[in-house]
Amino acid sequence: IGGPIKENKLFFFGAYQATITRQDPAENRTSVPTAAMVNGDFSVWNSQACRPTPLPLPQPFQNNRVDVAQLSKAAVNLVSRLPKPVDDCGLVVFGNPVKSTEHQFVGKVDYNLSAGHSMFTRYLAAFFDQPSAYELSQNVLTTPARGSNLKVNSLVFGDTYLAGSNIVNAFRVNWNRTTDRKKPASFFSAPDLGVKMWADPADYMTLAVTGGF
């Protein structure tokens, strides 16, 4: 929107735009340990109901069972923080939710002092906020992307003076400020699972499982 404030002298212009995104497609499928497995019973998970080709536990384990005392306490603690499976095979279906909000503003004022002298000022601002997927779902299986909180501010002042038929003086002053806070989701670290180690940060960790389910 824009128009004159004072005819042939003072003018204004302003604009606003917003982009709001909300999505949570349950498109990811994976397997997690079941309650039976946490209790040392791998028989159902290792049956044809869950696996086309059964893969019995190797020696010294018998009948696809493991003594609970032999399970890693840290691993069991981690399993308790995973989403609950929807079947006895450990299936989990989940999405990576997105909840982003963006606002953009721009305002401009032009002032004509005379036919050869004009001034303007312009302000532009943009704000973007997107929590991490874990903050929205509390699911540690979501993509470990960081959340983002972005703020951009820009202010410009300009003065243009026509000193003669071939002399123009243009003066510009610009101020910009940008803050972009990116932080991983805050959940837990190895010491919270019972691992005796030093962790920094104390509320975040990454874990890769090779040859898992």
- Condensed to tens digits (0 to 9), the pLDDT of residues 15-53 reads 999 999 999 888 888 889 999 999 999 999 888 888 888
Q: Could you tell me the two tokens for 91?
A: 């299936």
Mean pLDDT on 181-193:
86
> Cα dist. 203→36, 83, 129, 187, 200 in Å?
29, 19, 21, 5, 8
The chain-wide mean pLDDT, for the chain, equals 90
Vertex 72 angle, CA 70 and 73, to 5°: 115
pTM of the entire predicted model? 0.73
**For 88-101, what is the mean pLDDT?**
91
d(CA 50, CA 44): 7
Using omega within 30 degrees of 0 as the cis cutoff, is the peptide bond preceding 33 cis? no
